[in-house]
Amino acid sequence: MFDVVLLSRLQFAVATLFHFLFVPLTLGLSLLTAIYETLYVKTGDEDYKRAAKFWGKLFLINFALGVVTGITLEFQFGTNWSRYSMYVGDIFGSLLAIEATLAFFLESTFIAVWHFGWNRLSPKLHALCIWLVAIASNISALWILLANGWMQNPVGYVLRNNRAELESFWAVITNPFGWLEFFHTTAAAYVLAGFFVLGISAWHLIRKNEVTFFKKSFRVAAIWTFAFSVFLVINGDIHGSHVAHTQPTKLAAMESLWETQRGAPLYLLVIPDEENERNKVEFLPIPKLLSFISYHDFNAEVKGLKEWPKEERPPVAITFWSFRIMVGLGFLFVLMSLWAFLKRNNPEKEKTLLRLLPWIIPLPYLACELGWIVAEVGRQPWIVYGLMKTAEAVSPVAPVQVAISLVAFILVYTFLGLVDFYLLFKFARKGPEPKETESATELTSEQPVTT
């Protein structure tokens, strides 16, 4: 009924999508926590110190559960995708090894120093610790996305001894696809973290809880979220144009384009058909816009899916809808963050905005997941685009073994996800520790070490 390729793909998809529920918040909230603590060091305002502790606690919860799901994800390259690992391990493995030894160990070390170092380190040295954590988290993302970028656009290799072997490490780490993917993914993560802070701050402000504290959190997050929402849209346009040049089949699936056209229009609404262009329903065409967006030329030729054999076309419907919804959400984030930015100084007076923002929190999560679906499903049937097909990469294991582990992954990850969101909800709802508690803690703590 199910073959080992489909089951292995489902298992990797489950692991990736669950893992990516934790990663974006870790990337963005680590930097926002560092910003709040830096503002405390510069101004001496205790509210910013409390903000660093409050948002930092939520960051730690999310980070701990993200680590668990990330480790099991990498093991699958040996258990489920051993032929892939043998074929490209010389290239792919080196990038993951650097990520673990350089970034992850740095991040893990200083997160402990930061957590246990309150009132034991000087304020400046303590703030440096959280900056090292935030930088290491994002460097970790860079190496992982350079590895994924190589799968999307393989460069710097030579085929030798029936393997892809590394020829130019410089070409791999400067791969434009990897860097565009890095900027797009991290910007999406920063937007997610920004709306996370805005939504929780709005929830408390509407209830008049710690108004001064959450106004300060809101103000910083509003500036941050608007800036990265705009950047995300601009970067998405650049990234999309690069996809048009390097992965034309993905572009055709994203737009449900079957026939090659010059001056191809962009349809705002399409009901795609998976098998046949004639059954597709199109609405609201904008003449020549797809050619311009893809190649910055109104009369450029855009290849349709019929240019490739059926077995080399990616799934159309899921790629198309994931892309369309992701883009729509991206523009919604610009509008909502602009509204928050304009009202950042007195958000407590904008009741409608405050009521809407908590409901926005799940949407960046959805957009991030859809982005990965576009990236990975749109690349099919290739695991390394144009070099190795997914069906050739799977381990020689029995389907029942993968099925059992798939069910186990779903059960365990569902439990971990529920724990994560329960803890985040619990402590976000509780709010920061009162100032009296902060003062009492400081009196009983060890004296700070001076730099």
**Which residue stretches of 247-315 are H helix?**
248-255, 289-295
Model pLDDT for residues 174-213, shown as the tens digit of each residue: 999 999 999 999 999 999 999 999 999 999 999 888 888 8
Least confidently predicted of 151-160, 303-312, 365-374, 425-434: 425-434
109 vs 228, more confident: 228
Q: Is 285 exposed, middle or buried (0-12, 13-18, 19+ CB in 10 A)?
A: middle
- Is residue 123 scored above 60 in pLDDT? yes
Question: What's the pLDDT score for residue 374?
Answer: 92
Residues 282 and 270: beta-carbon distance below 8 Å = yes
Q: In this prediction, what percent of the chain has a pLDDT beyond 70?
A: 93
Question: What's the pLDDT score for residue 443?
Answer: 37
Question: What's the pLDDT score for residue 182?
Answer: 93
- Tell me if residue 428 falls in helix, strand or coil: helix
Residues 253 and 313: beta-carbon distance below 8 Å = yes
What CA–CA distances, in Å, run from 379 to 149, 164, 247, 290? 11, 19, 8, 20
Of 188, 186, 152, 155, nearest to 376 by C-alpha is 152
Question: What's the pLDDT score for residue 282?
Answer: 63
Can you count the helices (H) and strands (E) in the chain?
A: 17, 8
Question: What's the pLDDT score for residue 338?
Answer: 95
Model pLDDT for residues 232-253, shown as the tens digit of each residue: 999 988 888 888 888 999 988 8
Question: What's the pLDDT score for residue 369?
Answer: 92
pLDDT band at 221 (very low <50, low <70, confident <90, very high): very high
Asked whether the whole model's pTM tops 0.85, one would answer yes
Model pLDDT for residues 104-114, shown as the tens digit of each residue: 778 888 888 88
Residues 232 and 191: beta-carbon distance below 8 Å = yes
Question: What's the pLDDT score for residue 449?
Answer: 42
Of 124, 113, 117, nearest to 40 by C-alpha is 124
Residue type, position 76, single letter: Q
What CA–CA distances, in Å, run from 316 to 254, 276, 289? 7, 10, 20
pLDDT band at 361 (very low <50, low <70, confident <90, very high): very high
- Is residue 279 scored above 70 in pLDDT? no
Question: What's the pLDDT score for residue 283?
Answer: 65
Sign (positive/negative) of CA torsion 179, 182, 185, 190? negative
Residue 409 has phi, psi (to 5 degrees) of -60, -45
Question: What's the pLDDT score for residue 192?
Answer: 95
Cα–Cα distance for residue pair 338/226, rounded to 1 Å: 6
Model pLDDT for residues 301-359, shown as the tens digit of each residue: 888 888 889 888 898 888 888 998 999 999 999 999 999 999 888 888 888 999 999 99
Cα–Cα distance for residue pair 274/277, rounded to 1 Å: 8
Where exactly are the structural domains of the chain?
Answer: 179-389
* pLDDT averaged over every residue in the chain: 85
Residue type, position 33, single letter: T
35 vs 417, more confident: 35
What CA–CA distances, in Å, run from 148 to 56, 239, 380, 397? 29, 14, 14, 24
Cα–Cα distance for residue pair 266/288, rounded to 1 Å: 7
**Which residue stretches of 80-153 are H helix?**
82-98, 105-116, 123-152
pLDDT band at 225 (very low <50, low <70, confident <90, very high): very high
**Residue 281 per-residue DSSP state:** E
Question: What's the pLDDT score for residue 439?
Answer: 43
Cα–Cα distance for residue pair 322/327, rounded to 1 Å: 9
Stated length of the chain: 451
Q: What is the mean pLDDT of residues 376-387?
A: 90
**Residue 267 per-residue DSSP state:** E
Which pair of tokens denotes residue 123? 């304020």
